[in-house]
Structure 1
Amino acid sequence: MQYIKKHNTPPSDWDAWFTTATNVRSYNYRLDQDALTQLKFAKQHLIDAQDGLCAYCQKRIDMETASIEHVLPKEFNVEGSTNYTNLVAVCKIPLIDPIDKRDHCDKVKGNMVITPLIFLSNCEVTETINHAYFDVDVDGSILAKPRLSSNHKGQVEAFIDTLNLNHSLLKQIRANYVLACYVRALRQLKGSQQRQYWKAQFDIIFKDKRQPYRQLLLIFMAKKLGIN
């Protein structure tokens, strides 16, 4: 659910990173990865462009814990499947939900199609505007924003469900190790101090692009500050 800003033009070496030693441009990097000697540079570029966070769940990722993901599955657009505008970095470490036995992010998405909300500029929390599509609950749940039209709400809910972003272990991490610490600190404050606290925390996280679960925290705090 992280906003991924794709520039108008890809890195100058992008096509070279997806070209085999025999000078064949690959559109299936999984099939051709042994022949793509420079694929690691594409992966590193995506990780850096996303500030080291998974495009979907916003866990911290690096070269060892990340994989390259087609947002639009290659089955639906083979020649565009490895275009710069279609690839993001996501977490790859298997994590099975003990409740429903599902994984999350690209491991559960497979070749299913999702609305590419991560590429929409109004999916970025700013200092004056909250996220256009997602809401966050104190229990760590990611939800569709209540005021959405039924059509948009359905797309957001499908995005959340297809990627299993409310995987029980992810929710537990977000609630117990991320949101809870802020809520506990808040209980020590009263009146105007609470707003000052949220504003200070919002400003810190807003500036720290590498903060895990950054988008989720900003959505939660923006609500506390009355940013819609």
Structure 2
Amino acid sequence: MFKVNKTPEPAFFQEFKRKNKLSNWDEYNSYPEIKQALREYMLLEEQDLCCPYCEIQIEVETSEIEHIKPKTHFKSEFQNYNNFLTGCKTPKICGNHKGNRYSDKFINPTVEDPEDYLTYDVKTGQIIPKEKSGEKYEKAKETIEVLNLNESRLCNMRKTIILQSINNLNLLEYIDGFFTLKNFLKEADQKVSKS
């Protein structure tokens, strides 16, 4: 999971909202072109073509707009650009697993840096809390569970990257996505080199 630095709301979306006074997100289904334009803009300008939750590379056509604070519970947030991410549509993980769940313990990647909370288990590829207890630990545990970030396929992908990369850091330059995992591996290699 990586930090998303939101840009100012794009002018095309401001103009769309000004012209079309929509009252809920379902009304956006009549405007697939604006949803696609938003996904494309966020992927290219803010997310480096990756899902910010699982860090897998995604394409506009196979992505969806993720409301960080669910639109069903936070009705006034349904068209707040700062509440949007472009997420993967992968079943059982990320936004699909999160659904309408949200709490103050959820790490909002547009506000907080997930790297302050999360790290990796080198042997299993699992994402684990950086802290052993306390508020950061609780937020990490909640976020991992809500997004199902330790789904077996994700863990296997991360474990493969870890095993292939730990002794060959030059390979990291060619891996797309998995930004926080690459940073972790570089730090792990430095620790191993010092001991």
Same fold (TM over 0.5): yes
Aligned equivalent of 2:80, options 70, 79, 83: 83
Change (3 A) 1:182 1:54: same
Question: Quick one: distance in 2 between partners of 1:133 and 1:2?
Answer: 11
Question: Quick one: distance in 2 between partners of 1:146 and 1:64?
Answer: 37
Aligned equivalent of 1:63, options 60, 65, 80: 60
- The Cα of 1:182 is off from its aligned counterpart by 1.2
State the AA in 2 paired with 1:93.
T
- The Cα of 1:31 is off from its aligned counterpart by 4.6
Question: Quick one: distance in 2 between partners of 1:222 and 1:58?
Answer: 19
> Which residue does 1:127 correspond to in 2?
none
Correspondence 1:119 to 2:103: no
- The Cα of 1:220 is off from its aligned counterpart by 3.0
CA contact (8 A) 1:5 1:121 kept: no
- The Cα of 1:11 is off from its aligned counterpart by 1.2
- The Cα of 1:93 is off from its aligned counterpart by 3.4
CA contact (8 A) 1:68 1:88 kept: yes
Per-residue displacement from partner, 1:130-159 (whole Å, max 9, x unpaired)?
A: x31111112211000035x51221111100
- The Cα of 1:18 is off from its aligned counterpart by 5.1
CA contact (8 A) 2:2 2:52 kept: yes
Question: Quick one: distance in 2 between partners of 1:169 and 1:60?
Answer: 15
Question: Quick one: distance in 2 between partners of 1:81 and 1:32?
Answer: 10
Number of equivalenced pairs: 187
Unaligned runs of 5+ in 2: none
Aligned equivalent of 2:137, options 131, 153, 156: 153
CA contact (8 A) 1:18 1:26 kept: no
Per-residue displacement from partner, 1:114-173 (whole Å, max 9, x unpaired)?
A: 5233124544xxxxxxx31111112211000035x5122111110001100000111111
Correspondence 1:32 to 2:28: yes
CA contact (8 A) 1:141 1:166 kept: yes
> Which residue does 1:211 correspond to in 2?
176
The answer to which structure has the higher helix fraction is 2
State the AA in 1 paired with 2:141.
E
> Which residue does 1:191 correspond to in 2?
none
- The Cα of 1:15 is off from its aligned counterpart by 2.9
CA contact (8 A) 2:117 2:139 kept: no
Aligned equivalent of 1:170, options 154, 157, 169: 154
Change (3 A) 1:58 1:180: same
CA RMSD of aligned residues (A): 2.4
Change (3 A) 1:60 1:180: same
TM-score normalised per structure 1 = 0.73
> Which residue does 2:89 correspond to in 1?
92
Tell me the SS of whatever aligns to 2:116.
coil
Unaligned runs of 5+ in 1: 95-102, 124-130, 187-196
Correspondence 1:47 to 2:61: no
TM-score normalised per structure 2 = 0.84
Per-residue displacement from partner, 1:40-60 (whole Å, max 9, x unpaired)?
A: 111111111201000100111
Question: Quick one: distance in 1 between partners of 2:189 and 2:148?
Answer: 26
> Which residue does 2:125 correspond to in 1?
140
